[in-house]
Amino acid sequence: MSLLFCTRPARYLLLLAFASCAIQPELAVVDGPITIATWPFGRFANEQAMQAFADGRSRLDAVELGIREIERRSSDGSVGLGGRPNAAGYPQLDACIMDGPGHRAGSVAGLEGIVHPISVARLVMEKCRHVMLVGEGARWFALEHGVESVDVSSYEPQKADWQRGRRPQDPDTRGHDTITLLVRDADGHLAGGCSTSGAGGKVPGRVGDSPILGAGLYVDEEVGAAGGTGIGENIMRHCGTYLIVELMRQGMNPQAACEEAIHRMAAKDPRGYDLSVSFIALDKRGRVGAASSSQSFPFAVATSAGNQVLSVEKVTPR
């Protein structure tokens, strides 16, 4: 059965194997801060986030610092400027951040030459009257606010070649991972963030699920938060994370909600379960869940007691 991460009252860590099934166990409540992040490299994001909490910093600091670490590492070639380039040969980055209290959010997409897009997304949320900025305008905004950047003049020949139709014949289209980080602070407030370089070999200007609220990330202060990773088109067409949060609102625990979302997506999609999507979720009580449509999915969970990588097998079709 599916049995999750437990600390009570965060004095010890009990890690039990995940297996996808229809059983909805009574999941333990976690006291104190808790973070959950996608993929094994998510443990580095958790580490920074938990250190931020230990230092007395805010939940938004925890999200930003955690994701900045993965952007810095360009983990798995799927995050940050070291991530996979688009089909024209240069990186375009997406990110968003969302805070439970006040239902605030900021997002950037198609961002070029900015080292930490998550920081720009937070600035959009806190310093801009809009929610989402894209492309050249997002870069201008980042530069106006002094965010670390690199020279993008080397992109110009690649852009010119693309516009003239001189395009790479076999762009590397492998890879589509994302760092998604969900946190709950010591007071029970929720926040989350996403960052990615997007699908490898994507058409210039392509935007996936990661910066789209309700697709790659959704946070509801009353209920919980959810985040996605995988093929963004297959998440955004179903508003995957919004669906998970609404299922939790209806009474499902995070594990059951993640699994049910995939079942519903598969029932409507011509691809069935061959969607290549995975989800994580965290509710107000500190319970966590994860599910994957078509592969085993490792993710990382941390409390003040420890930081571990767990794994869930793909859901069983029904």
Q: What is the pLDDT of residues 192-224, one digit of tens each?
A: 999 999 988 999 999 999 999 999 999 999 999
- Residue range 272-287: average pLDDT? 96
178 is catalytic: yes
217, 252 Cβ separation under 8 angstroms: no
Cα(287)–Cα(274) distance, integer angstroms = 27
Residue corresponding to tokens 């499902």 = 252
* Residue 198 φ/ψ region, left for φ over 0, alpha for ψ in the -120 to 50 degree band, beta for the rest: left
How much is the pTM? 0.90
CATH number of 34-152+172-309: 3.60.20.30
Are 183 and 59 in contact by the 8 Å Cβ rule? The answer is yes
Structure tokens, 120:
């720009």
Tens-place pLDDT, residues 105-139:
999 999 999 999 999 999 999 999 999 999 999 99
Between 298 and 78, the higher pLDDT residue:
298
pLDDT of residue 8: 37
Bridge-based pairing of strands 104-111 and 132-134 is parallel
Instruction: State residue 287's pLDDT score.
Output: 96
Residue 181 has pLDDT above 70, yes or no: yes
Spot the catalytic one: 178, 180, 229, 241.
178
- Find out whether 125 and 63 touch, Cβ atoms under 8 Å: no
Q: Tell me: pLDDT of 255 over 70.
A: yes
Complete DSSP assignment for 40-108: TTHHHHHHHHHHHHHTT--HHHHHHHHHHHHHHHTGGGSSSTTS---TTSS--EEEEEEETGGGEEEEE
Crossing angle for the helix pair 240-249 and 254-268, to the nearest 10 degrees:
130
**Quick one: what percent of the chain has pLDDT higher than 70?**
89
As a whole number, the mean pLDDT across the chain is 90
Q: How far from chain centre, in Å, is Cα 40?
A: 13
pLDDT score at 24: 35
Task: Average the pLDDT over 39-59 and give the result.
Answer: 97
Confidence bin at 173 (pLDDT 50/70/90)? low
pLDDT of residue 28: 60
User: Mind listing the pLDDT tens digit for each residue in 63-114?
Assistant: 999 999 999 998 778 899 999 899 999 999 999 999 999 999 999 999 999 9
pLDDT exceeds 50 at position 4: no
pLDDT digits (tens, 9 = 90+) for 224-252: 999 999 999 999 999 999 999 999 999 99
